[in-house]
Amino acid sequence: MRALAVLLALMTPPALADGLTEIPYAALLDMPHLRVSFDTLPPAAEPGHVFDAPLRFEGVRIGEDLAGQTLAEAVTAEGRFDALHGVPLLPFRVEAGAHGCSLAVALHRGFGSNALFPLGPAGAGLREGRGEGAVAILFDRAQWRLGLKLHADYPDPLGTRPPRGTVTLRFWDEAGRMIAEQVLHPGTGVLPLAWQSDQPIRALTITNTDAGGIALDDILHQTDPATG
């Protein structure tokens, strides 16, 4: 474990903010962890399995937002998206969105498996509603390290798709304070992401303004997160 810690220190770039640092996703696989996969549900073409309540996995709850936050609609030239404002209330709780506008799990061509689609204001019934929503991930125990895989777009060799948008990740500590905010401009394909933090992460919220929306899979969290 000490050798791995040294290796991580050598491999990781500077902290993003307040001690939050990107690390290789593969490094988490060498640590005791659990993986949230959505393949426990039968494969289903989009819109797939549509949920109007938060999802529960071992050690993790997933919803549209954290209780205390305000959900709004952001309209851009590329579509309609969920936006989250405000800070969470304590004790933490994830909440679902409106009927047909919360979460869906469906077979995703990019991942080659089931994935999580946060549903936007247009809802599950429309293609432009699948992936444009907000998602909140709440951990039973605060995490020093965590990871996930994100898909934002497919290759576009003809350059006919609208400009890619952004993905905004906000990390929250046990006291409901935002540890850091990371804004990504993701490319095509599956993007593995992982972080370690000087302050344990209790929750993560994700929003986007990408024309094709986003999907998530393979959320990793530690099973023995006692130390940083």
* Stated pTM of the model: 0.90
Q: pLDDT of 182-214, one tens digit each? A: 999 998 899 999 999 999 999 999 999 998 899
The tokens 């709780």 sit on which residue?
93
Q: Confidence band (pLDDT; 50, 70, 90) for 78?
A: confident
Q: pLDDT of 90-142, one tens digit each? A: 999 999 999 999 999 999 999 999 999 999 999 999 999 999 999 999 999 99
Going through the chain in order, the beta strands assigned E by DSSP cover 21-22, 33-36, 49-51, 55-57, 60-63, 65-66, 70-76, 79-85, 94-95, 103-108, 113-118, 135-151, 167-172, 178-184, 190-208, 215-222
